[in-house]
Amino acid sequence: MTDLSKTPEATPAKGGAFLSVRDLKVHFTTSDGIVKATDGLSFDLERGKTLGIVGESGSGKSVSSSAIMGLHRGTNAMLSGEILLDGVDLLKVSNEDMRKRRGRDVAMIFQDPLSAMHPYYTVGNQIMEAYQVHNDVTKREARKRAIEMLDRVGIPQPDRRVDDYPHQFSGGMRQRAMIAMGLINNPSLLIADEPTTALDVTVQAQILDLLQDLQRDFDAAIIIITHDLGVVAEMADDVLVMYAGRAVEYGPGKEILTNPEMPYTWGLLSSVPDLTASTEAKLIPIRGNPPSLLNPPPGCPFEPRCDHTAKVGGDLCRTTLPDLTPANSGGSHVKRCHIKNADEVYEAEILPEIAPDLVED
Amino acid sequence: MIGFVIRRLISAVLVLFVISVAVVALFTYGPSDPAQAMCPEPKCTAERQDAIRDALNLDAPIQVQYAEYMSGIVNGRQIAFGSEAYDCDAPCFGVSFIYRVNVWDDIKDRIGPTVSVAVGAGATILLIGVPIGMFAARRRGSAADKAVIGATLVIESIPYYLFVLLAFLYLAAGAGIFPQEGYHPLTDSPLKWAWGLLLPWLALGLVNSSKYARFTRGSMIEAFNQDYVRTARSKGLAESRIVNKHALRAAVVPIVTIFGIDFGSLLTGTIFTELIFGIPGLGLRALNAVGQSDLPVIEATTLISALIIVITNLLVDLFYSVLDPRVRLG
Ligand SMILES: Nc1ncnc2c1ncn2[C@@H]1O[C@H](COP(=O)(O)OP(=O)(O)O)[C@@H](O)[C@H]1O
Ligand code: SF4
Ligand SMILES: [Mg+2]
């Protein structure tokens, strides 16, 4: 007999993963109908590892990660599935319990650090507040800790800059300060939602370096959300490609980047400039626009934009949503596409287009 | 910050200059003939009125008259009404046509009551309107929220003088809960001062707070949608702290701005309140002066009201810069 007296807190997750998201759905009721922003998302993540979630804007990345933070509570969102963090289902804990976990167990940093900070409070005040809410410390101790964290994330003269207002910081410094705020309670999971999108290219690289560096120190699991495969290539152990609220390809980062088996991922790869550093590579943006998440049609959501439907028999693409199935390259790599020999198609048609110098003949 | 203060000071001085020029020009070129106002036709012959015009120096160029008026405010001056001459000590705003006394002596004790009514009503407006707006914002979309909005719309559709009149008739004259008349200077007895003004404050405050309830609600809801409120929530702050610290701090800025603008009309709007409650304020005096075409009194009350409004606007602007570090620190 299993011990039923155990509290949910003490029960380890089924698969044992530190973070395990199972069949997560986030649906919004609007006056036009139900928006299925996240529709059956599953993934696992271990401490010290990084998951990259990639997809065009509107594919449901922010909505999904906000669900992990419990930020949809008290809104018109309907959530189902499981979000197991260290065995505890975050969708089931009370509002007060979830509040206490926010910032302590799970922290989040956002795309635009200027709007993400309160313009009327000093940077130090905002960082201290994040510490004080979870730790019974004096103002003075909190301030000391805030200065330490600012120093740790590379803010020069942190004991002076701690009293600055956000508008007195540069964009990169603001994002460093947000990272300091996010990590001040040593959370086990850090969600970075497009942390570098609003920054200069040179600053982007510094911020990514900082995140990797801090991850080693803090042993946190990181979810990095981006629409930039370059960021994923640098940061992620695992990659989840999202399209129209669903995972369309998921697996180890190296696999996804070198042996993708889903036409949408191919499209993303073709539209990244610096991934292969090849001068002959063509930059081909994906044609068309992401579909509406309101009343999606039955088939593959990528079908209206897909150039490879002819490789699938009949009108399967239009009528039937493909399941997530193991990729031909094996391992834990899965993809959502009807094409049987996707690996061969990639080798023969896609690779020569995007990285001619990688193709040996 | 210093640059900001200097710019605001300069613009305040400019506004006062323009208003004072207009006031002096009104005296000379206005629709009401000063000589006729001082001494109407059957009493004074046409020749006598000409003599008065002469004595008032009405034919002198506007800049000469302006210099004379301003110098009177600073140094005092002699004012001649035909053969009689009045010593008008500084600050001299002229001599009342009707009562033949220094206008300043006539109105200086009336500034306190008017400012008391306006400041108290202003505070009441904020104390009633802002919390109600915050209450509704936190429950946006709910029945309570809709009830609040409905109530504010109803209250706002009542003309405020009717509201003040009804408050007076029922609560002061009728039920006798509040004193009927009774302005006591703050310096005499703060308690009597506040008690005497309480009903006017409540009446004015309640009518005008409806707008502030809706405005606060809007500002708070806008603040709730800001990214920094999402950040505050992500830190694990309690909802009450998110509302009362992060959202309110942001919403206060537009509220203060609007309040600064409204305070001027609150000052002028006290006329009816003064009339109904018999408060010996500037507005009441100006109203009488208009009825009597007592031009120097009209001039003086206009100038002093303008001065009060300019000073409050200046204070609000400075307060605004304290509230917004982006203004303060440039
Ligand atoms: N509160 C909401 N109500 C209705 N639809 C929403 C709401 N929030 C997000 N959405 C929709 O969900 C979809 C996914 O949004 P989001 O997760 O922000 O995309 P991404 O972060 O991938 O760019 C978008 O189409 C967006 O319009
Ligand atoms: S299922 Fe069909 S439409 Fe969808 S990606 Fe595969 S080939 Fe394209
Ligand atoms: Mg997003």
The DSSP code sequence of B279-314 is: ---HHHHHHHHHHHT-HHHHHHHHHHHHHHHHHHHH
Kindly state the helix (H) or strand (E) to which residue B8 belongs, with its residue range. Answer: helix B2-29
pLDDT tops 80 at residue B63: yes
Last residue of a domain, one of A236, A265, A289: A236
Residue A273: band (very low, low, confident or very high) from pLDDT cuts 50, 70, 90: low
pLDDT tops 60 at residue B2: yes
Asked if B121 and B229 sit in the same domain, the reply is yes
Asked if A35 and A86 sit in the same domain, the reply is yes
What amino acid occupies position B11? S
Last residue of a domain, one of A206, A236, A266: A236
The structure tokens 């005040």 sit at A125
Cα end-to-end span (Å), chain B: 7
Residue A59 lies in a domain: yes
Q: Stretch B57-82: mean pLDDT, rounded?
A: 85
**Number of domains making up chain A:** 2
What pLDDT shows up at residue B88?
87
Residue A244 lies in a domain: no
The DSSP code for B244 is I
**Number of domains making up chain B:** 2
Q: Which atom of ligand 1 is nearest to the CA of A77?
A: 1
Asked if A229 and A154 sit in the same domain, the reply is yes
What pLDDT shows up at residue A282?
61
Asked if A226 and A261 sit in the same domain, the reply is no
Sign of the C-alpha dihedral, residues B309, B310, B311, B312?
Answer: positive
Percent of chain A with pLDDT over 90: 77
Phi and psi torsions of A338, nearest 5°: -80, -15
Asked if A282 and A223 sit in the same domain, the reply is no
Q: Stretch A229-238: mean pLDDT, rounded?
A: 92
Helix (H, G, I), strand (E, B) or coil at B60: coil
Instruction: Tell if the CB–CB gap between B236 and A104 is shorter than 8 Å.
Output: yes
> Please, is A139 exposed, middle or buried when counting C-beta atoms within 10 Å of its C-beta (0-12, 13-18, 19+)?
exposed
Asked if A170 and A305 sit in the same domain, the reply is no
Residue B330 lies in a domain: no
Percent of chain A with pLDDT over 70: 91
User: Using one digit for the tens of pLDDT, what is the confidence trace for A44-98?
Assistant: 999 999 999 999 999 999 999 999 999 999 899 999 999 999 999 999 999 999 9
Distance A247 CA to ligand 2 centre (A): 14
Phi and psi torsions of B119, nearest 5°: -65, -45
Residue B163 lies in a domain: yes
Asked if B82 and B133 sit in the same domain, the reply is no
What pLDDT shows up at residue A7?
40
Asked if A209 and A264 sit in the same domain, the reply is no
pLDDT tops 50 at residue A11: no
Give dist(CA B235, CA A106) in Å, integer.
Answer: 9
Residue B19 lies in a domain: yes
Residue B301 lies in a domain: yes
Which residues of B, range 249-278, sit inside 8 Å of A by Cβ? 249-250, 253
Write the CA distances from B264 to A145, B115, B128, B311, integer angstroms.
48, 11, 19, 10
What pLDDT shows up at residue B50?
81
Asked if B64 and B118 sit in the same domain, the reply is no
Q: Are strands A325-326 and A334-335 parallel, antiparallel or unpaired?
A: antiparallel
Residue A10: band (very low, low, confident or very high) from pLDDT cuts 50, 70, 90: very low
Asked if B85 and B119 sit in the same domain, the reply is no
Asked if B211 and B311 sit in the same domain, the reply is yes
Asked if B180 and B44 sit in the same domain, the reply is no
Q: Are strands A325-326 and B77-81 parallel, antiparallel or unpaired?
A: unpaired
Q: Which atom of ligand 1 is nearest to the CA of A292?
A: 25
Residue A75 lies in a domain: yes
User: Using one digit for the tens of pLDDT, what is the confidence trace for B82-91?
Assistant: 667 888 888 9
Percent of chain B with pLDDT over 90: 37
What pLDDT shows up at residue A194?
94
Asked if A323 and A220 sit in the same domain, the reply is no
A→B interface, C-beta within 8 Å: 69, 71, 99-104, 107-108, 110, 112, 115-121, 126, 129-130, 133-134, 165, 167-168, 178, 181
What pLDDT shows up at residue A280?
57
Q: Retrieve residue B109's tokens.
A: 């004790």
Asked if B56 and B153 sit in the same domain, the reply is no
Whole-structure pTM value: 0.85
Residue A15: band (very low, low, confident or very high) from pLDDT cuts 50, 70, 90: low
What pLDDT shows up at residue B260?
86
Residue B329 lies in a domain: no
Asked if B62 and B11 sit in the same domain, the reply is yes
User: Using one digit for the tens of pLDDT, what is the confidence trace for A293-310?
Assistant: 998 888 999 999 999 999
User: Using one digit for the tens of pLDDT, what is the confidence trace for B100-146?
Assistant: 889 999 899 999 999 999 999 999 999 999 999 999 999 999 999 99
The residue of B226, B228, B327 whose CB has the most chain A CBs within 10 angstroms, and thus the best one to mutate to test that interface, is B228
Distance A63 CA to ligand 1 centre (A): 6
Distance B50 CA to ligand 3 centre (A): 81
Nearest-CA residue for atom 11 of ligand 1: A37
Q: What is the 3-state secondary structure (H, E, C) of chain A?
A: CCCCCCCHHHCCCCCCCCEEEEEEEEEEEECCEEEEEEEEEEEEECCCCEEEEECCCCCCHHHHHHHHHCCCCCCCEEEEEEEEECCEECCCCCHHHHHHHECCCEEEECCCHHHHCCCCCCHHHHHHHHHHCCCCCCHHHHHHHHHHHHHHCCCCCHHHHCCCCHHHCCHHHHHHHHHHHHHCCCCCEEEEECCCCCCCHHHHHHHHHHHHHHHHHHCCEEEEEECCHHHHHHHCCEEEEEECCEEEEEEEHHHHHHCCCCHHHHHHHHCCCCCCCCCCCCCCCCCCCCCCCECCCCCCCCHHHCCCHHHCCCCHHHHCCCCCEECCCCCCCEECCCCCCHHHHHHHHHHHHHCHHHCCC
User: Using one digit for the tens of pLDDT, what is the confidence trace for B203-260?
Assistant: 888 888 999 999 999 999 999 999 999 999 999 999 999 999 999 999 999 999 889 8
Neighbours of B256 (CB within 10 A): 17
Residue A243 lies in a domain: no
Residue A88: closest CA among A183, A2, A189 = A189
Provide the CATH number for the domain around residue A221: 3.40.50.300
Asked if B35 and B176 sit in the same domain, the reply is no
What's the domain range around B98? 2-103
Mutate which of A27, A32, A63 for ligand 1? The one with the most ligand atoms within 8 Å of its CB, which is A63
Asked if A224 and A265 sit in the same domain, the reply is no
Asked if A61 and A151 sit in the same domain, the reply is yes
Residue A274: band (very low, low, confident or very high) from pLDDT cuts 50, 70, 90: low
Last residue of a domain, one of B103, B123, B148: B103
Q: Are strands A19-30 and A77-85 parallel, antiparallel or unpaired?
A: antiparallel
Cα end-to-end span (Å), chain A: 61
Q: What is the 3-state secondary structure (H, E, C) of B72-123?
A: HHHHCEEEEECCEEEEECCCCCCECCCCCCEHHHHHHHHHHHHHHHHHHHHH
Residue A266 lies in a domain: yes
> Which amino acids bring their CB within 6 angstroms of ligand 1?
A 28, 30, 35, 37, 55, 57-63, 293
Provide the CATH number for the domain around residue B239: 1.10.3720.10
pLDDT tops 50 at residue B64: yes
The structure tokens 């009903």 sit at B199
pLDDT tops 60 at residue A171: yes
Asked if A133 and A40 sit in the same domain, the reply is yes
Asked if B130 and B216 sit in the same domain, the reply is yes
User: Using one digit for the tens of pLDDT, what is the confidence trace for B162-195?
Assistant: 888 888 888 888 877 777 766 888 888 888 898 8
Last residue of a domain, one of B44, B76, B103: B103
Last residue of a domain, one of B72, B103, B134: B103
Distance A77 CA to ligand 1 centre (A): 11
What pLDDT shows up at residue A312?
92
Percent of chain B with pLDDT over 70: 98
The DSSP code for B44 is S
What's the domain range around A285? 253-358
Asked if A156 and A295 sit in the same domain, the reply is no
Residue B190 lies in a domain: yes
Q: Retrieve residue B114's tokens.
A: 């008017």
pLDDT tops 90 at residue A286: no
Give dist(CA A229, CA A268) in Å, integer.
Answer: 7
Residue A242 lies in a domain: no
Q: Are A52 and A242 in contact (CB under 8 A)?
A: no
Residue B328 lies in a domain: no
The DSSP code sequence of B159-224 is: -HHHHHHHHIIIIIIIS-SS-SS----TTT-HHHHHHHHHHHHHHHHHHHHHHHHHHHHHHHHHHH
Asked if A215 and A270 sit in the same domain, the reply is no
